[in-house]
Structure formats: structure tokens, C-alpha cells
Structure 1
């Protein structure tokens, strides 16, 4: 598990600062398989996870949901046959916060755990 995945999310509120360009670069280096994409004018972290079937994708989705609930930070999840697309961003600030990078790393850790 990465050092970033071991961290905890902090309470975030409207008006909290988004990550700076420098912070974004350093944090993104720790989760290089995630894309930073513009979603309706807001930066988000996005990654597609591949599975053999729907059942495995559903198990993963539920595990990500459990981690999200524990951290009180929730992603957008698209569950399809054989794949799950996970997107992280902080709704309250309309972009990326350190919490999103932490949760992306935690999502990778969930994927790394065998079923």
C-alpha cells in the first residue's frame, strides 16, 4: 500500500483550497495510472478498472463504496460488464483536493487485494 493510501481524508468545506499546480504534480506522481480530466469545467481524477465479469466488477464497486463511506468522501462510479470507471473530485470546491488523491490511492489498494 502506498504512503498516500495510508493517509486519511480531512473534512473539506466549500471554499477549501484546491490543490495548487505544484501539489497536483507531486500527488499525481504517486498515482500515475489515474488521468486528470476536465468534467464539465471541473478537474477530476479518473481510472478504468478491468475485470473478467460483472460479478467481479460489482464486488470491487462495493469495496470502493465501503472505503468511501469510511472516509466520508464519495466518488462517481460507473459499473459495467467487466469494468468499473471511478472518478474522484471534491464537489464542495468544484475540483481537486488532496483528499481526491488519497482516495484514488485507496482505490488502487482495493483493486490490489485479491477477491
Structure 2
């Protein structure tokens, strides 16, 4: 089983655009257009498949909300931090 992160581990990850809500990390972002939002979703889908770790994604026109949690571990793990950083990079591009 994957090791759960402590509150300190999550703090040390410095995921400034993400919030911790219970056992999940969440980030909402508004893109310039619907097509730009879907391009980010497609990039996240590729990253998630490669990592075998899949976020919940809510699509509302050009607003995306990503929620990360390692359900099999019962909370946040390094997998969530790694995917959050990858999502951040995709949004930045």
C-alpha cells in the first residue's frame, strides 16, 4: 500500500494553487476558452494514464476543477502531489 502523507508533507510540497479538503487536493482554474480547457483535460488524461493515477475532473465551460486523492490508500499520497505538479505544468502552458 502507498504511504499516506502527513500534514507537514503536504505543506512542504508547496502546492500553492491547491487546497486540502479532507482527504483530497483540489484546484479550480479558468482557461481562456472551452477549447483551451479541453486541451488541458486531454493533457491531464495522458499524464494520468502514464501515472496510472486518475483525478476527478469537473468541466464547466472553461472552468476546470481537479480533485486528487489516492482512494486505495484512504487519503493523500505522493502520487497526488506528483500529479498536481504535472497538472500545474499543463495549466501553465
Please give the TM-score of this superposition, normalised by the length of structure 2. 0.92
What does residue 17 of structure 1 align with?
3
* Per-residue deviation, residues 13-42 of structure 1 (Å, max 9, x unmatched): 3xx321122212212x2x11100012xxxx
Q: Does 1:79 align with 2:59?
A: yes
What residue ranges of structure 2 are gaps of 5+ in the alignment? none
Among 9, 12, 16, the alignment partner of 1:32 is: 16
SS at match of 2:42: helix
What residue ranges of structure 1 are gaps of 5+ in the alignment? 1-12
Please give the TM-score of this superposition, normalised by the length of structure 1. 0.75
Q: Does 1:112 align with 2:67?
A: no
Aligned length: 93
Q: Does 1:67 align with 2:62?
A: no
